[in-house]
Structures are given as C-alpha cells and as structure tokens.
Amino acid sequence: MKKTRRKISKPRIINRDGGFNVLRIGASNYRWRDPYHLLLTLCWYKTLALISFGYILANTLFALAYLAGGDGIENARPGNFLDAFFFSVQTMASIGYGAMYPKTFYTNILVTIESLLGLMGLAMATGLMFARFSLPKARVMFSHVAVITPHNDMPTLMLRVANERQNWILEAQVRVTLVRSEISKEGDVMRRFYDMSLLRSHSPLFALSWTIMHPIDETSPLYGISSEEMFEDEMEVLVTFTGLDETVSQTIHARHSYVAEEILWNMRFVDILSKTHEGRRSIDYSRFHDVISIGD
C-alpha cells in the first residue's frame, strides 16, 4: 500500500495563555522602567532606530544650545542650524577637524558637557551592541505539531527537537509540562501545571534529532483524556530545553508549546534518519515536521 504523507506547514499564531500574549490589565508599563532589558529584547531594527533617534535628538538639542549662545563657533555661519548641528556631531564623536572650534566661554562649557556625555553614550552603545552579539541563543527547532501514537503498545505523546547548528549541545535536558484549566469546588477557574514523565529527558550529547516521548499510562496527566476534553479544558503542552553549547561554553535554552489543535491523534512522524551509500548518517530536515497516519 502506498503511504500517504501529510506535510505540516508552519502553524498560524495562536493566542495562548503563556508568554507575552497575555493582556495585562491594570499593570504598569514595567518595560520602560528597565531600559537595558528592553534594548536587549527589542528586534535589531528597532534597537538601531532607537539609538539613531537618540543620537540625532542629542545633537539637535546641543545645536540649539550653541545657537542660543550667539556667535560662539569660529568659522560657522552665525545663526546657521546646520553648522551648529555638524559642529555638535564633531564634538560628540571627538572628531575635531579643526575647521570649526569654540571661541567663547559659553561654547567651551557646552563642548565640555557634550564631550563627557558623548563618551558615556559611546560606552553604553558599545556595551549594548556587544551584549546583543554575545548573548547566547539556541538554534533548537521544535516540530510544528506533537502526535499521540502507540509505542510498545502504549499510547505515547511524541514531539521532535533538532539542533540547527553543526555543533554539539552537551548535557541537554528537556522538561514537558501539561497546563490545563480546572474549576475548584468553590467555582474558581485556575490554570494548573502537571509534570509529564519522559522515557528519556537527558542526552549527554545532542547534535541531530531527538524524539521526546511521554507514555500515557495510569500516572500520566493525559490518561483517559480525549481530544475533545483537551479543547474543552484548554490544555497546552509546554516544552523547555536547556543545554551547554560546546562552541561558546555557555548555557542555552529554548521553549515551545503545543495547544490542543496542534496535538494530532493516531499519527506518527516520518522517519528522517538514513544512511548514504558511503555509510554516512544523514538527516532530512525538509521532512522534519511531516507526519503520516498510523494505518499507512
């Protein structure tokens, strides 16, 4: 019988209860109270745009301050904003071409203040850029879906992870948790967390692919649960991954979650490991997310 393969495309964004998708009503905007963390978490183009805006704004303010002092810049056109602005740029960057220079006490005081602030700003921007570049990030790929399929005659929840880099991750560990909504005897709705035991939660060396398996036995929080109940109780499977990157010798971590509609029943993952004619082991990442029916 010809096997039918189901190709899983990248799922749409789903509003989950975890992470940043929660609407925080009544909470203060704490992100602006922690600017360093904010600049580390912003995307690159927003960070560069914010630094550029601050640089232009600072030079604009100093240019206006120079103009307020009258004709205090030698070889600059009196009252010309562009000359004052570019003189501010040269001062803040410690360039000093020599064509324009301060000639009054007021201007020298402004130059002193701007030079100090320019050194501080350059140090902060350099540190921020270095921190962003040196921040260890995991290139761990999670399968777009999880499946529930028999394994050794036991219903088993399976998902796949892979290392996208061509290096080793040492002492890799995976933890899987079930989150579900429950109603207490008093009628209060709560989100409860249940740890899910794994057949193997630790790998001393992780380089290619790893199938995470949770047996659904009597001790499993999924025991006796149907797909309809998973939707009704808003169940979500949280997966956290940690390990030591061999290249940078730093701990990396990654996380992913699967809501009820991303957990497929009576399906299994397509085999992606094989050997070439030369006997080398190969992995087909183009089929990493593909599943087939267990009847195929």
Q: Is residue 23 part of a domain?
A: no
**What are the pLDDT digits (tens) for 217-237?**
999 999 988 888 888 888 999
Domain co-membership, 121 together with 146: no
**What are the pLDDT digits (tens) for 29-77?**
666 677 777 888 788 888 889 889 999 999 999 999 999 988 889 888 9
Residues 6+ apart with CB under 8 A from 213: 151, 156, 157, 158, 198, 199, 200
Find the mean pLDDT for residues 12-34.
Answer: 55
Domain boundary among 110, 134, 158: 134
**What are the pLDDT digits (tens) for 124-162?**
888 888 888 877 777 888 999 999 999 988 999 999 998
Residue 230 is inside which H or E element, if any? helix 227-232
Structural domain total, the chain: 2
Q: How far apart are the C-alpha atoms of 148 and 258, rounded to whole Å?
A: 12
φ and ψ of 226, to 5 deg: -100, 170
- CATH code, domain carrying 288: 2.60.40.1400
SS3 assignment, position 182 = strand
Q: Which two tokens stand for residue 144?
A: 């777009």
**What are the pLDDT digits (tens) for 248-276?**
788 888 999 999 999 999 899 998 888 77
| Domain around 161 | 137-293
Per-residue confidence (pLDDT) for residue 1, from 0 to 100: 39
Residue 57 is inside which H or E element, if any? helix 44-68
Per-residue confidence (pLDDT) for residue 185, from 0 to 100: 79
Q: With bands split at pLDDT 50, 70 and 90, how would you rate the model's confidence at 22? A: low
Domain co-membership, 160 together with 287: yes
Domain co-membership, 153 together with 277: yes
Per-residue confidence (pLDDT) for residue 12, from 0 to 100: 44
Domain boundary among 104, 119, 134: 134
Domain co-membership, 183 together with 278: yes
Better pLDDT: 83 or 97:
83
- Other C-beta atoms lying within 10 Å of the C-beta of residue 126: 10
Domain boundary among 111, 134, 157: 134
- CATH code, domain carrying 66: 1.10.287.70
Domain co-membership, 189 together with 285: yes
